[in-house]
Amino acid sequence: MKIKRTKFGVLSTGEKVHLYTIKNADMSFSVTNFGCTITSIIVPSKNGAKEDIVLGYSDLTGYINSHGGPFFGAFIGRFANRIGGASFKLNDKTYKLDVNDGKNMLHGGFRGYDKMLFDAEEIETADAMGVRFTRTSRNGEQGFPGNLLIEVTYLLNKKNEILMEYKAWTDRDTPVNFTNHTYFNLTGNSHNKIFDHELMLNADAYLAVTPDLIPTGELTSVDKDKAFDFRKAKPIGKDFAKVKGGYDHNFVINRVEGNDLTVCAAVYEPTSGRSMLVSTNQPGVQFYAGGSLGGSAGKYGQIHQPNEGFCLETQQFPDAPNHDNFPSCILHPGEEFDAQTVLSFSWL
């Protein structure tokens, strides 16, 4: 295994941005300290063709100039997904956040973690190599309370697994919800639609939402609407037309008690033979089928069309600060936030 650091660009502040490429015997991935962003994942097909299976930009400029989405490959926080009304109440105080998604806040507001530079340290374990990123989100940043020390670690091991771990510590009660926003297309050609990918979601329920995608608080059984039933793998496109606006919903993972990690999703792409298994210790996974990708610039001058990539964003529940019946997303002083996700790749 090996890791290589290269220059990725320079910010207007003069700060240097680097790209880290980690390789094992079979595959590789690259990540930059600008937004802890995964820029590529190179995986073989069943025929041995090594291709990039994630969407993104060809250079740093694309990541700098994208505003309001699509958040290709980015680390998202302080609170991923949406907070309804761009506000929440905590300890009898109401906090006002950026209104950047209709009347709501999305992915941290106008300047999310995807636009912030992190310190980086190359690390190596017995069977893995990667990078650990750190920064401190100051009290009041994005409107959230508390100084938050953030640690983001991405590793590649010899078993063709990408290990993602997010840790945080605070000096004041604060909501925390971290995720990674990588868009996948396992065909290796991001011109292709994702509808033939076969998806399994280990979820008996999903969160019902309002028209602007804010949870109502209801956990809806997938038995009520078979379009949301992915407990047995099926093509993403099979029931897609039945879902108004397409899939952009948080599924409630069937967690296994006592297990640190639970398999929450599996994806198989038949033409390439590539498979991806997703495991996490988080309560939810946002399945987003890329419906808003139309017109988004991509790698090598490509202009994306809707549904050319999908996301599986493991996370706390969206709008959790405003729902007492959701798992608590509040981190207290003296506690450690620890979110883990593993992406396991194979090809047949």
- Catalytic machinery residues: 181, 313
Tokens of 207: 């969160």
Q: How many Å apart are CA 250 and CA 329, to the nearest integer?
A: 15
The DSSP bridge partners found for residue 121 are: 132
Q: How far is CA 200 from CA 139, 261, 282, 345, 347, in A?
A: 40, 17, 17, 15, 17
Contacts of 244 (CB under 8 A, 6+ apart): none
